Chain A
Amino acid sequence: MAEHADTQSLLRLVTWLSPAFPVGSFSYSGGLEQAIHDRLVTGADDLRLWCETLLDHGTTWNDALLLAEGYRACDDAARLIAASELAEALAGSREWHMETMLLGEAFLAAAGHWPHASLEFPGARAAYPVAVGAVAGAHRTGLEAALAAFLNATISNAVSVAIRCGVTGQRDGVGMLARMEKTIGAVATRATRASLDDLGAATIIADIASLRHEILHSRLFRT
């Protein structure tokens, strides 16, 4: 794989994983709103540790592996369906399941502006990381670049959630993105060398936060 994505691939990944891409990612917090409510995340340092734990030992790591599987299987419909079903089954709460499926569906619809003949999901439904992987794979953006863009978007969204919940400011939030650059890169590299056999999460409290969010009275986010 080329060390740097070419300009076309870079443009596509930046667009597909931009907060402005019409998938509505700004309305989901992946349980972070609940973690902030429960004072598990109270500032920029907590937020960084929370995100790093999800990246190394949690759902974000699993999502990276599911994206990689989608990328590698982009020409194999049966394998894509299996990956998406696995992602659905792994979604550990009602809201987590809703988030990954609605984002995936919206992503496939919006990515239709970059048509690709061989890419077909039944009912145009797929879990979000698998959908992103499959579209990136079909357009040969480079797997590591796609992973890095996806993970960076996930962490950026968490920062944006924390800013809107008032536990960090813009400056500390951006500072955190800069500090996490190496970790994001390392996890992207690790995921290119891993497979679905390496799925594994230890983030039980984060799962519980996602389960609890559905009964949170006053909320800004859908998850």
Chain B
Amino acid sequence: MEPAAIIAPQRARGEGRLVAKAEGGRTRIAELYQEGCAKIRLPKTFDASMEAVLINSSGGVTGGDRLSWEFRAGKGTKLTLTTQACEKVYKAAAGTAEIATRISVAAGAHVDWLPQETILFDRSALSRSLEVDLAADASFLAVEAVLIGRKAMGEEVRAGLFRDNWRIRSGGRLIHAENLALAGDIAALASRRAVLDGAAAFATLVYAAPDCESQLSKLRLALAGHALSGVSHYDVGGRDKIVARVAAADGFALRKILIPLISHLRKDASVPKVWTL
């Protein structure tokens, strides 16, 4: 057998695109494109909505990998986007992995962006972007959870790079932006009180829909027992949004807090089936 060492490191590439349209009262495929390690599966749903499960078939990301996803929800469609597994970001020998996601939501449509957790391993490097364009009367929910290593498995993260930039626009006007940057000695950074105060898991939730005001009190109630969490409702550029943030000791504790929030904002529909505790 040839020694593995002579094989140049493979850089994973993937591009996936899904366009959804409303037809006969249901959400159906208008276009599906997948190339490289980016795969999209569409399990059967039992209502008018569509659920798309994203798969990175390379089994994780490392330095130099490039993935891009594009989703377009046509007028009146209802689309849930999730991932088959947690995205594991492994030690990078060289370079930074890049994942870019673009989502557009047309008039009267709704998209839930609910990927499973991103897990950062020691010396990983990932730069990620989420660009969302909402029509003026479209609605949108995004929840992104990040775990710094997996404590239960004894994995410690010392150094690394993680940048996550979100830009959400409504009718062309920027209504929400996130520029998360964890860089350098992540363990020391995460131990600081203003950063994570030693917590290893955190999540950001953004919800833009006409019913934000009526959802706030229920979300507050759901978060009432969790000291490391908070939620606000406010408007930016004339558009209502809810922003919630949660930190927790580990991924399990974080999921226990997030699942009721997601279920509530999905009008008591459960979280996607792939999200099981």
- Residues of chain A at the chain B interface (Cβ within 8 Å): 35, 38, 40-41, 46, 49-50, 53-54, 57-58, 62, 85-86, 88-95, 97-98, 199-212, 214-215
Contacts and interface: CB of A to CB of B under 8 A. Distances in A.
B228 A208 contact: yes
B174 interface: yes
Interface string B197-211: 101001000000000
A201 B234 contact: no
A82 to B, nearest CB: 8
B106 to A, nearest CB: 22
The 5 A-B residue pairs whose C-beta atoms are closest, nearest first, are A211-B230, A200-B181, A94-B234, A89-B177, A94-B232
B237 A41 contact: no
Nearest to A208: B230
A211 B181 contact: no
B232 A89 contact: no
Contact of B179 (A94, A97, A201): A201
A62 B180 CA distance: 11
Contact of A57 (B181, B232, B236, B237): B181
Contacts of A93: 230, 232, 234, 243
Nearest to A206: B194
B54 interface: no
Nearest to A65: B179
Given A38-B227, A89-B236, A214-B232, A205 B174 contact: no
A92 B205 CA distance: 11
B155 to A, nearest CB: 20
B14 to A, nearest CB: 25
Interface of B: 163, 167-168, 173-183, 189, 192-197, 199, 202, 220, 227-234, 236-237, 243-247
Contact of B195 (A97, A203, A210): A203
- The winner among A85, A86, A205, A209 for most chain B CB atoms within 10 A is A205
Interface of A, secondary structure class, is helix
A57 B199 CA distance: 17
Given A208-B247, A211-B245, A202 B228 contact: no
Contacts of A40: 193-194, 197
Given A200-B179, A208-B247, 18 more contacts: A53-B195, A54-B194, A57-B195, A88-B174, A89-B176, A89-B236, A90-B178, A92-B243, A200-B180, A201-B179, A204-B245, A205-B194, A205-B197, A207-B230, A207-B245, A211-B229, A211-B230, A211-B231
A202 B243 contact: no
A90 B177 contact: yes
Nearest to A42: B193
Nearest to A97: B234
8 contacts: A38-B227, A40-B197, A41-B193, A89-B167, A94-B234, A202-B181, A202-B182, A207-B230
Given A88-B237, A90-B177, A93-B230, A46 B195 contact: no
A215 to B, nearest CB: 7
